[in-house]
A and B are shown apart, each in its own frame.
Chain A
Amino acid sequence: MRGPPGLGWSCPGRDSVARVGVYFDAATAMPPHPVARQAFLAALDDGWADPGKLYTPARRARQLLDAARAAVAEVLGARPDELHFTAGGTDAIRQAVAGVRRARDRRLVVHTAVEHSAVIKAAGDLAVQVPVSLTGRVDLGALETALDSPEVAMAAVQSANHEVGTVQPVAGAAALCRSAGVPLLVDAAQSIGRVALPTGWSLLAGSARKWGGPAGVGVLAVRKGTRWEQPWESPVDVPAVVAAAAALRAVQAEAATEAARLSALVEEIRATVAATVPDVEVVGEPVERLPHIVTFSCLYVDGEVLLHALDRAGFAVSSGSACTADTLRPSHVLAAMGVLTHGNVRVSLHSAVSTEDVRRFLAVLPGLVADVRAEVGM
């Protein structure tokens, strides 16, 4: 058993994490950036006091928090006083939705059918889902129609999809929202620190663990002039926020290089899987996509069985197939697109993934898929 010192475990070295296998689930959580670790430890020593107090240690914590806020705001294209730290990405989205509903005294949320479940849950029953294409792009005509109602409190359009990587036409959506007088929430969780962020939003939400910061830190930028009342204040964990900001600066500095490298690997996965695995559907936009996410579905394959086979082979991937979800329902994203939901595999890459890791995955995949199919006589 390994774990943090002081809890009865010996402390793991960084290489012991790597030995577990190849981690292909960056879209869920990035491995913590080394800079985040250093910043966190330093801020534990220096920023433990309550930043709201007036004595010297509190002022020091406040300075660290302000510096973190300025650094994150710059990356998001926001002013520091527009930025709120939250208790995570889901909390950021819930605050965005609850705060606009309260300030505008309207309830209806118009959102794409492929938003993250955090948006769908925050919107609840008082929501209109806007359909998407077979590749997962929102139908702007349907969005325009949905916005044309006095009941609409806000719209939500993600920067890019978390399951299939499709980039959404946020500029077009923002123009429609502007002319309808409806505030637009952009969930940018998969884009922050990786690609250029969209503009034209009223609210922008993200999650630090998607960019190599700690879990439990979210960001919500609210453009000045947006009718939004903060519905609750989440406790601010200064060392975690400092670590999140440090990680974001670090990944942002390498974003263009990394995006090019990972996008080429995704392109290789898309082409190779389609060529070497029979009866497979590679889903999502082939060009207008995120650099790090690729998803495919294998006909006649049980997603859970394939996921475990890949895990035994040393590859940690995610799946939108029903059998891998706690609800036993297939991914709402794949269902809204109308693509095969079973036999689904999502591979999401990050800076510690090498070309060799990807090629080893591509080498073992066809045999594993064939084995799973053989077991059901296909």
Chain B
Amino acid sequence: MSGPLVVDALGRRCPLPVIMLAKLAAGHSPGTRIEVLADDPAAAVDIPAWCRLRGHTFISTDGDRHTVELR
């Protein structure tokens, strides 16, 4: 498997990073990892919350890099 998919949402305000993540996630299978680059302070809360609501796994936040794994 190649590296994770990346969503570049730097400079975008919420809910755009989550919308971009959801659109990309829709076409991918369980186990896929997606990294979201987002510097909006709301993203650090909203990306884990999106995972919880949709049943995906939130892996980690490292600065502006938020990693999720699709169920």
Binding site for B on A (CB under 8 A): 279, 281, 297, 299-302, 321-323, 328-330, 334-335, 338-343, 376-378
Contacts and interface: CB of A to CB of B under 8 A. Distances in A.
Interface in B1-60: 13-16, 18-19, 22-23, 40-42, 45-46, 48-50, 52-53
Given A341-B14, A342-B14, A378 B19 contact: yes
Secondary structure of the A contact surface, majority rule: loop
Secondary structure of the B contact surface, majority rule: helix
Of A281, A341, A343, A378, which is in contact with the most chain B CB atoms at under 10 Å from its CB? A341
A200 to B, nearest CB: 32
Contacts of B50: 299, 340
Given A299-B50, A300-B19, A343-B15, A329 B45 contact: no
Of B13, B23, B49, B52, which is in contact with the most chain A CB atoms at under 10 Å from its CB? B49
A341 B46 contact: yes
Interface of B: 13-16, 18-19, 22-23, 40-42, 45-46, 48-50, 52-53
The 7 A-B pairs at the shortest CB distance, nearest first, are namely: A342-B15, A340-B49, A330-B42, A342-B14, A335-B45, A322-B42, A341-B42
Contacts of A330: 14, 41-42, 45-46
A330 B45 CA distance: 9
A376 to B, nearest CB: 6
Contact of A300 (B18, B48, B52): B18
A377 B22 CA distance: 11
A328 B42 CA distance: 9
